[in-house]
């Protein structure tokens, strides 16, 4: 389904008229200055009157076009900046301002040439190039730029070396897996998520693949990034390739993380290990999954003290060391004793985890043929 474009706002007529008036006045002034080119009166009008009237008429016609175009351009800029964080705009503005100052300091010697027709275009070119470079650097390093004005300047402090508050470089494996959305909704992740263009290109390539499995992975990854972008408290930003000289996408991620100081968010354990060895701060969701897995799984044998009867006939209940309830079938005769049980299933509920088991050794005697 095609994305819905923002509705075009109606041009405020008073604003257009004010802009038109400015162009009319400029045209009248230009006509007044050009009055000297007329050889003499034209009919009952003198050169000055004719110049002013002609300039005003042209200014009225051109001013309407320029006024509407300016307002439309401002509306498009407003829509384009609506999803951009304020701190990024502020950091980019200060970066551009510093770029202008640096460009002026570098380019002023061109006026020693002595020809303004040559010096002025060169000076403006250097200023614009430095301002654009400053804006890009300011936007990229916005955390450091805002930090120059202190923690009270609109952004919370980044916390130094803690990867939990750093911008996160998102690997394609995280987008394809999809579980990050539930992690974000649970409140364990948030803030700025950065996707470099090569990762987006990789997902797009998978989405366009001829193989159904690869195509499904690519589409799921793109849909997950779009869903993540709509989550409150999460800012998904796509940036250009900051390591164009590095061929592989994984290597680009590592290089970008090292250059920017950002954390790498991935599910690829091999990438996580190599990135960590290179000095990158890594958030490995696979390691988080392993850390949060149940202490016991189906098939494990554990020893548990049966402390009370269960709700169903023959059931006995005990608890693991972490407080997890264990419901043992056909074990009520062993109440008050330690029993060796085999886990049959693990049920996770809103109140916690519950383990179901069957006895293996009860009352010192093997159960079930042991």
SS3 category, 282 = strand
User: Which residue pairs, CB below 8 angstroms and at least 24 apart, start in 32-35?
Assistant: none
The four Cα atoms 313, 367, 308, 316 give a dihedral, to 10 degrees, of -40
* Residue 206 φ then ψ, to 5°: -65, -40
What domains are defined for the chain?
13-140 (no CATH), 163-291 (3.40.50.1010), 301-366 (2.40.50.140)
Contacts of residue 340, defined as CB under 8 A and 6 or more positions apart, other chains included, come to 301, 302, 303, 359, 360, 361, 362
Its pTM stands at 0.49
Both structure tokens of 343: 């886990």
Per-residue pLDDT 10s for the chain (370 aa) are 333 333 444 445 666 667 667 777 776 777 666 666 655 554 455 666 766 777 777 777 776 677 677 767 766 766 655 555 666 677 778 888 888 888 888 877 777 765 666 677 777 778 888 888 877 777 776 666 666 655 444 444 444 444 446 788 999 888 888 888 888 888 888 888 889 999 999 999 998 888 888 888 899 989 998 988 888 888 888 888 888 888 899 999 999 888 888 889 988 888 888 888 888 888 888 777 777 676 787 888 888 999 999 888 889 999 987 778 899 998 888 888 888 999 998 887 766 788 999 998 876 667 664 4
Token digits for 145? 């730029």
């Amino acid at each position: 389904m095609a994305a819905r474009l923002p509705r075009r706002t109606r041009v405020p007529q008073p604003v257009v008229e004010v802009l038109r008036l400015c162009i009319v006045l400029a045209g009248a002034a230009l006509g007044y200055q050009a009055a000297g080119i007329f050889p003499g009166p034209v009919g009952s009008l003198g050169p000055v009157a004719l110049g002013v009237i002609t300039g005003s008429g042209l200014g009225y016609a051109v001013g309407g076009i320029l006024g509407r175009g300016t307002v439309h351009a401002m509306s498009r800029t407003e829509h384009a900046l609506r999803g951009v964080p304020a701190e990024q705009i502020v950091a980019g503005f200060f970066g551009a301002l510093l770029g202008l100052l640096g460009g002026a300091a570098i380019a002023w010697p061109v006026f020693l040439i002595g020809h303004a027709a040559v010096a002025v275009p060169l000076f403006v070119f250097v200023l614009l190039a430095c301002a654009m470079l400053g804006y890009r650097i300011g936007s990229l390093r916005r955390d450091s730029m805002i930090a120059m004005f202190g923690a009270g300047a609109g952004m919370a402090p980044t916390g130094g070396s803690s990867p939990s508050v750093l911008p996160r470089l998102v690997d394609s494996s995280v987008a394809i897996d999809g579980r990050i959305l539930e992690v974000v909704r649970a409140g364990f992740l948030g803030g700025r998520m950065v996707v470099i263009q090569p990762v987006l290109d990789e997902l797009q390539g998978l989405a366009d693949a001829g193989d159904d499995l690869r195509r499904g992975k690519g589409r799921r990854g793109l849909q997950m990034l779009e869903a993540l972008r709509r989550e409150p408290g999460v800012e998904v930003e796509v940036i250009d390739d900051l390591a164009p000289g590095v061929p592989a996408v994984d290597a680009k991620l590592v290089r970008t993380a090292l250059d920017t100081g950002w954390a790498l968010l991935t599910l690829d354990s091999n990438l996580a290990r190599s990135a960590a060895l290179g000095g990158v701060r890594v958030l490995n969701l696979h390691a988080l999954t392993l850390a949060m897995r149940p202490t016991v799984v189906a098939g494990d044998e554990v020893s548990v003290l049966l402390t009370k009867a269960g709700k169903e006939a023959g059931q006995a209940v005990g608890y693991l060391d972490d407080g997890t309830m264990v419901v043992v079938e056909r074990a009520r005769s062993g109440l008050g004793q330690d029993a060796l049980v085999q886990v049959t299933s693990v049920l996770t509920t809103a109140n916690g985890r519950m383990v179901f088991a069957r006895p293996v050794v009860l009352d010192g005697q093997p159960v079930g043929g042991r």
